[in-house]
Amino acid sequence: EEENTSLQTFKLKEQSLVQSESIIGVCAKIKLSMEKVLLLSMKKENHVMQGVVNIFTVDEEKLVPSGHIFCALPENAFSEKLSLLNREYFIACRPGRRFVDIWDLKKVELSTNEAEMIWEREIVNTKSIPMIKCSAVDFCFPYLVVGKSDGRCDIWNIQDNCILRTLEHGLETG
């Protein structure tokens, strides 16, 4: 039996100017909303790797570059798979997947366009073989949920800088 599908076609109305890597950096993530588009990229700025949140707004059905916010990366990199971007925060796990950093995109130093890092923490500090690492993150201020490779999940309150609860699945792991 043939499945009923409909394909919608679009025509290119207008193309924006090319945004080169030297201007916006290397794209890692994108966040879409009705009023703006956030493009997260990595870019070397002043000899330091930065997470850059490039902001595009909609003007007469076109995306227009309207600014950028820098987030200085403590280890000059972040794990793209273990990072989150929303309209208010950028959350990133460092390359070793043991530290998490959070920037507030509403608290920006106007002279440098640099967002304030509001929290950084070693979220995995147990020593084991195999090494336990962060495997998932989610965030809803002030709660940070961190899944770990040992099957546990920590729920942090970043305002109080404490773990509220650790969830365990109860299954044998390896």
Question: How far is C-alpha 55 from the geometric centre of its chain's CA atoms?
Answer: 14
Confidence of residue 114 (pLDDT cuts 50, 70, 90): very high
What local confidence, expressed as pLDDT, does residue 5 receive?
Answer: 62
Instruction: Answer for the pair 65, 53: CB distance below 8 angstroms, yes or no.
Output: no
pLDDT, average across residues 112-132: 90
Confidence of residue 173 (pLDDT cuts 50, 70, 90): low
Instruction: Answer for the pair 72, 94: CB distance below 8 angstroms, yes or no.
Output: no
What local confidence, expressed as pLDDT, does residue 99 receive?
Answer: 93
- 5-38: burial string, b at 16+ Cβ within 10 Å, e else: eeeeeeeeeeeeeebeeeebbeebbeeeeeebbb
Amino acid at 131: M
User: Which residue, 155, 122, 149, is CA-closest to 135?
Assistant: 149
Question: Does a cis peptide bond (omega within 30 degrees of 0) precede residue 130?
Answer: yes
Element (H, E) at 67: strand 62-72
pLDDT greater than 80 at residue 9? no
What local confidence, expressed as pLDDT, does residue 67 receive?
Answer: 92
The residue with greater pLDDT, 163 or 128, is 163
pLDDT, average across residues 71-94: 90
What local confidence, expressed as pLDDT, does residue 144 receive?
Answer: 97
pLDDT greater than 60 at residue 74? yes
Confidence of residue 166 (pLDDT cuts 50, 70, 90): very high
Task: Give the model confidence (pLDDT) of 12-55 as tens digits.
Answer: 677 666 777 777 788 888 898 878 899 999 988 778 888 999 99
What local confidence, expressed as pLDDT, does residue 143 receive?
Answer: 97
Q: What rounded mean pLDDT belongs to the chain?
A: 86
Percent of the chain with pLDDT over 90: 47
- Measured CA to CA in angstroms, residue 17 lies from 21, 36, 75, 121 at distances of 13, 18, 32, 40
